Amino acid sequence: MIDETDAAGRAPDEGETPGAGDPSSGDSVNSGDSAKTGVLTSIAAFARKHRLPLVIAGGVVAFGLIGAGAVAAGVASNGGAAASVAAVTTPTPTPTVDPARPVPATIAAAARLRTCSVADRAADGRLANMQAHVMNAATGEVLYDRGGTTPSRTASVMKVLTSAAALSVLGPDYRTPTTVVKGSEPGSVVLVGGGDVTLSRTPSGTETVYPGAAHLDDLAAQVEAAWAADPANPPLTKLILDASYFSGDEWEPSWALKERDDGYMSNIAALMVDGDRDNPGSNTSWRSADPVGRAGDAFASELGGIGVIERGVAPAGAQQLGQVQSPTVAQLVDKALVVSDNTAAEMLARLVAIETGAGNSFGAINAGVLQGLAAYGIDTTGIIVVDGSGLSDNNAVPPSYLTQLFVKINAREGNLGVLMDGLPVSGERGSLGYDDRFSGDNAVADGAVSAKTGWIDTGYTLSGVVRAQDGSTLTFAIYALGDVTDEAKQAIDTLTTGFYLCGDNLSNS
């Protein structure tokens, strides 16, 4: 072979071919026959001109013509001596790739063609500005996506995030206390709220809207017994109300006041009774503007003899006279989800914020809840948590976050089985069991959808798990946002039923 570098290791310049057969190289061809030498010299010159590979061995010259495939060799003879030139096939070139062109490392497998369309259902005008996202829970494959990565208001679906954060940070068995301690003045006691919105003014043994709620009469009996145990104590005449466990506004500024008047939401304070309802046995009941005052009045009635009620803070290290505990986080999650109790959800969000060290006001909820959600390993970029209930238009969560979170909820990761068990079920339980949900043709999906409902004036939402007709399990989120009416619920149910009927064959077209 002809070496492509000179003795110094340099590449030849254009038009120069070093090596055998070049008279200027100082080498000689292995033959004394001048005619043969002439032929070889001519061939070498031809090879140089056309930049062809050239091999000389035993008087035979071989070269390839690029693109010709084969060369016919001429034979020159002088004085009966013959010099033969062998025909040589062009070597197969090594494939090269333009470095400027990206080349995939592997060839992607062909995607499955899914043929079950929900286009007609998704086009329902009652859905207004619709966003939706559907994922196969087993494979993680996204089957359907309409604005799924855009953070938007969630309505009460926000309670899923609040509950998941509470189960992560507090755990399902966590309870918060309401305590009474001795006041700094003679004849005074301090009722210290620990954030339990479920504490009831009804007699012990009475069932309220909050299963497992503590009762003020129990707490009062403990205080009276402890007070009477010390003969030096004067009669009880003063009650101080300490609600300092929560700070800042009691009413989130972005909430509409009609939510309180219509009985859907209370002011949020660390001390209240029965979620500040007029009727402790009704989920929807008018709420006051002073839940702390209502709780104080109720406790003073239980104690008797109280002439003064005022706000204050418990003395440091004061003697404890009595204490009762809230229902567990698991019970509160169930209440927040199954009938969408707003006040219970706000209680959970505030306790999460406090436990994480984020603070004890509305402004601390975002950091607290996001810290709680971090344990699940899903990117929370773009999420904004203004409240725990979802009542604010300023909340923002992409539907795709919910579908990912529901994969973990469905798998019952960590304590998330509590959340799964608390969800409404189509045609059977909670807010999906009402007469106007999954009715008519949509009843085919009864029992197959476990999901959280949501409703505010500017949107209806639904997110959860579908156990589809084909046996697949889907996670989904649907937002109907904008100028919506109550009929958006039926349109959402119809689209969800489409997911149920299509299953893993759901088309994204």
Q: How far apart, in Å, are the Cα atoms of 287 and each of 281, 452, 497?
A: 13, 24, 37
Active site residue 156: yes
Which phi and psi (to 5°) does residue 12 adopt? Answer: -70, 150
Query: Which of the following is catalytic: 152, 156, 188, 450?
Result: 156
Contacts of 268 (CB under 8 A, 6+ apart): 197, 246, 250, 251, 252, 343, 346, 347, 350, 362
Contacts (Cβ under 8 Å, ≥6 apart) of 150: 131, 398, 399
105, two tokens: 């490392």
Active site (annotated) includes residue 509: no
Q: What DSSP string describes 278-346?
A: SSTT-SS--B-S-HHHHHHHHHHHHH----EEEE--PPTTPPEEEEEEPPPHHHHHHHHHHS--HHHHH
Cα–Cα dist 99/154, whole Å: 47
Q: Are 233 and 225 in contact (CB under 8 A)?
A: no
- Closest by CA to 333, choosing from 250, 211, 449, 178, is 211
Give which of 307, 294, 303, 313 is closest to 240, Cα–Cα.
313
Active site residue 159: yes
Q: How far apart are CA 497 and CA 449, in angstroms?
A: 9
Task: Write down the catalytic residue from 168, 200, 340, 450.
Answer: 340
Residue of 36, 159, 335, 452 marked catalytic: 159
Cβ contact 31:38 at 8 Å: no
Residues that are catalytic: 156, 159, 340
